[in-house]
Amino acid sequence: MLSIVGTLIVVVLVWQAIVFIGGYPPFILPGPASVAGRFVSAWSQGTIWPHFVTTLVEVGLGFAVGAGLAVIVGYGLARSRIVERLLSPYLVAAQATPILAIAPLLALWFGTGLLSKVVICSLIVFFPMAVATMVGIRSVDARLLELGRSLRATRRQVLTSLEIPAALPSILGGMRVGVTLAVVGAIVGEWAGAEKGLGVLINLARGSLFDIPLMFATLLTIALLGIALYLVVVLVERRLIGAR
């Protein structure tokens, strides 16, 4: 905790020093004090709040849908040679195409509302989570599976009592990556077309409002959102597998 505060102080000091030495005007690089002030005022005046809620809902839904599908597909990839052969080329191709390039198309198809953001978030979350699930399920100790067989565990019992608990560390590792990517997906989706959201607010602050401290305050909000979601996953991880 102390080290986190320490590095934070160093970062803020370096930032202030750059502003001071470089003599940058606030519309290029506002100082930490002005950003902090704008951050507080934007939150207290309710400027950020509605955008924040919109983005949070997009991230939450998109992550849930993407992660849910990824766990199912990842399991199929791990356990079925045919599924792996059929799907993996398309999965890799989808992953290799930058989400930034697909986002405008998805906005065209699914509109500028919640749906297109959920689709983009799901897509970006899907690949790392599917791979993490596949690796996790494949790494389940065959000896434990033999034990399950010798105890006459049903297919379902093998899944719930052996495979999922054994693959959980890997799946949660994928979630750490996935949840931060979901935030990226939501912002990209908002840039491709939206009325509300933190991505929209960044564009507004840079464009029509020309409020660069607000833009920084929004960036800070996005970063904090990512950190908070990451910490939630870490907490879940500690709770589920900490004592192993």
Residues that bind other proteins (CB under 8 A): 143-144, 146-147, 149-154, 157, 161-162, 165-166, 168, 241, 243-244
Of 153 and 204, nearer to other proteins (C-beta) is 153
Q: How far is the CB of 236 from other proteins (least distance, A)?
A: 15
* Cα dihedral sign, 54-57-59-62: negative
Q: How far is the CB of 64 from other proteins (least distance, A)?
A: 24
Q: How far is the CB of 147 from other proteins (least distance, A)?
A: 5
Of 159 and 219, nearer to other proteins (C-beta) is 159
Of 81 and 152, nearer to other proteins (C-beta) is 152
Are residues 122 and 189 in contact, defined by beta-carbon separation less than 8 angstroms?
Answer: no
Of 69 and 162, nearer to other proteins (C-beta) is 162
Concatenating the DSSP letter of every residue in the chain gives -HHHHHHHHHHHHHHHHHHHHHT--TTTS--HHHHHHHHHHHHHTTSSHHHHHHHHHHHHHHHHHHHHHHHHHHHHHHH-HHHHHHHHHHHHHHHHS-HHHHHHHHHHHH-SSHHHHHHHHHHHHHHHHHHHHHHHHHTS-HHHHHHHHHTT--HHHHIIIIIHHHHHHHHHHHHHHHHHHHHHHHHHHHHTS-SSSHHHHHHHHHTTS--HHHHHHHHHHHHHHHHHHHHHHHHHHHHHHTT-
Q: How far is the CB of 137 from other proteins (least distance, A)?
A: 15
Q: How far is the CB of 144 from other proteins (least distance, A)?
A: 6
Are residues 51 and 200 in contact, defined by beta-carbon separation less than 8 angstroms?
Answer: yes
Q: How far is the CB of 138 from other proteins (least distance, A)?
A: 17
Of 5 and 243, nearer to other proteins (C-beta) is 243
Structure tokens at 198: 């933190």
Task: Quote the radius of gyration of the chain (alpha carbons, Å).
Answer: 22
Q: How far is the CB of 152 from other proteins (least distance, A)?
A: 5
Of 101 and 243, nearer to other proteins (C-beta) is 243
Of 29 and 166, nearer to other proteins (C-beta) is 166
